[in-house]
A = this chain, B = another copy of it.
């Protein structure tokens, strides 16, 4: 018996989608009346949605000054990776004893598919990698069956960071990243949580290096992403 979503929920999800897809760039102004008109609702559910997204860290609100899509510094980006590097290995280790053979096969299929579309050559499609990667990590987190850890992780990963991922990977880092996925599957097959944890730790460290380097290139170390300074 699923409950019909309220306008505020729809507004919140729509806004989140717009931000995650990049239709609303970091730093973009979010006027209440403008959004209300755009989404066909009144200002009230828009306000509620903005407040909620602010709690999630996706938007920033200044009293009497309105809301903007959240921005972040390189330091904050590194902080997010610190958090991921504690939580995701732990979640991965949790997943190991809970993974049934069918689950492992599913993850294996995802990892193989990522090798196909991510490998070098004319068939490389970095955009197709994003949903596959997301599916892999989501599946792993679901297997861990640990809502509290999962919630902490989801709250911290400002998905704007995740979104434009593989465009910034150099070839070696990308190869490493794909290999990590396969190795995690191997660790799951072996039922070795320590192995899985270690690979995931390396996986995050690799991603961290790539993302931090890219962020420094585009924004410099001091300015906020989305600001024009």
A-side residues, CB < 8 A to B, are 3, 5-6, 9, 44, 47-48, 51-52, 55-56, 63-64, 76, 79-80, 82-83, 86-87, 90, 146-149, 151-152, 155-156
Contact = CB atoms under 8 A, between A and B. Distances in A.
Contacts of A44: 44
8 contacts: A3-B64, A5-B63, A6-B63, A51-B52, A82-B146, A86-B86, A151-B156, A152-B156
Nearest to A65: B3
B152 A83 contact: yes
Contacts of A3: 63-64
Contacts of A148: 76, 79-80, 82-83, 156
Contact of A155 (B5, B63, B76, B152): B152
Contacts of A55: 52, 55-56
Given A82-B146, A87-B152, 6 more contacts: A6-B63, A79-B146, A79-B148, A82-B90, A151-B156, A152-B152
A5, A55, A80 — which one has the most chain B CB atoms within 10 A of its CB? Answer: A55
A147 B82 CA distance: 11
Nearest to A3: B63
Contacts of A63: 3, 5-6, 9
Contacts of A52: 51-52, 55
A85 to B, nearest CB: 9
A67 to B, nearest CB: 13
B79 A149 contact: yes
Contact of A48 (B47, B76, B90, B155): B47
Nearest to A80: B148
A89 B183 CA distance: 28
A6 B86 CA distance: 36
Contacts of A80: 148
A141 to B, nearest CB: 13
